[in-house]
Amino acid sequence: MKRLIFYTLACLALHNGLSGQSLPENSMDVHPLPIGAMVPDIGLVSAAGDSVDMKSILNGMPTVLVFYRGGWCPYCNRQLADLAVVEKDLKAMGYRWWP
């Protein structure tokens, strides 16, 4: 579960790392990555303040990326709970959790 939380924090850092880009004016201007797409190689800053690039974190392996808005979000908490249930199966399929 700690590893899943780390991935969640990494995703939050990913979101914050994109802060140099302008925000879309409306929902029609949002173009998320489709399932199976390659994640752009962007720089991230960890909670400890260390710089790391997304490419080195993912290391070319299939990865589950979770965008976690916070403990206040019941949908996010439910998603994390559901992922914890299937974590073993995902690992057996070749997906990895940090590290």
Per-residue pLDDT of 45-65, as tens digits, reads 877 888 888 888 787 788 877
**Which pLDDT score, from 0 to 100, does residue 25 have?**
81
Query: Which pTM was predicted?
Result: 0.51
**Which pLDDT score, from 0 to 100, does residue 7 have?**
54
Q: Is residue 38 part of a domain?
A: no
Q: Is residue 21 part of a domain?
A: no
Domain that holds residue 6: 1-15+45-99
Q: Which of 21, 33, 30 is nearest to 63 (CA)?
A: 33
Q: Is residue 34 part of a domain?
A: no
Q: In the chain, what is the straight-line distance between the N-terminal and C-terminal CA atoms, in Å?
A: 12
Q: Is residue 37 part of a domain?
A: no
Structural domains counted in the chain: 1
**Which pLDDT score, from 0 to 100, does residue 16 have?**
47
pLDDT over threshold 80, residue 85: yes
- Report long-range pairs for 56-60 (Cβ below 8 Å, ≥24 apart): 57/10, 57/98
Higher-confidence position of 99 and 56: 56
